[in-house]
Amino acid sequence: MKLKYGILVVLISWLSISIASAQTPAQKQVAAAVDTLYKAMVDADKDKLDKLTAPQLSFGHSSGKVEDKAAFINALTSGASDFTSITAGNQTITIVKDVAIVRHVLNGEILDGGKPGNVKLGILLVWKKQQKQWVLLARQAYKLP
């Protein structure tokens, strides 16, 4: 009897987690856009960065520095900002009509003046759907311990 009860508890827990982690189609599209953005940042891919960001981009760094679209893309393509890897964890995505609010923890490996380093940041991204494509409108980072 205890074994059946234990199996039932595990099954209900698994189903709850599966249902809670299910994403809507829009959330899946935004998650894919985040992944594509981070790959483009690591690759310093100017064309992809341009397509993934809105002309009005406001890109806030954990230092307080804020860049517009041109400065953001230039920093990556010139090597001034050099990410060698980026991963996002504990991500949540909230969709409100044509706006998506994304929060996650960014873990990144960087080259700072040629010296390897690591960053751990809290990230807030605001995406807007424009002409059937999600584009990054705003980003703010904050330092985590």
Instruction: Give dist(CA 136, CA 112) in Å, integer.
Output: 25
Is the separation of the CB atoms in 141 and 108 below 8 Å?
no
* Bridging pattern class, strands 53-60 and 133-143: parallel
- The pTM of the full predicted model, rounded to 2 decimals, is 0.84
With contact defined as beta carbons under 8 Å apart, do 2 and 59 qualify?
Answer: no
- 37-55 pLDDT, tens digit per residue, is 999 999 999 999 999 999 9
Domains in the chain with CATH codes: 23-143 (3.10.450.50)
**pLDDT tens digits, one per residue of 85-129:** 999 999 999 999 999 999 999 999 999 888 999 999 999 999 999
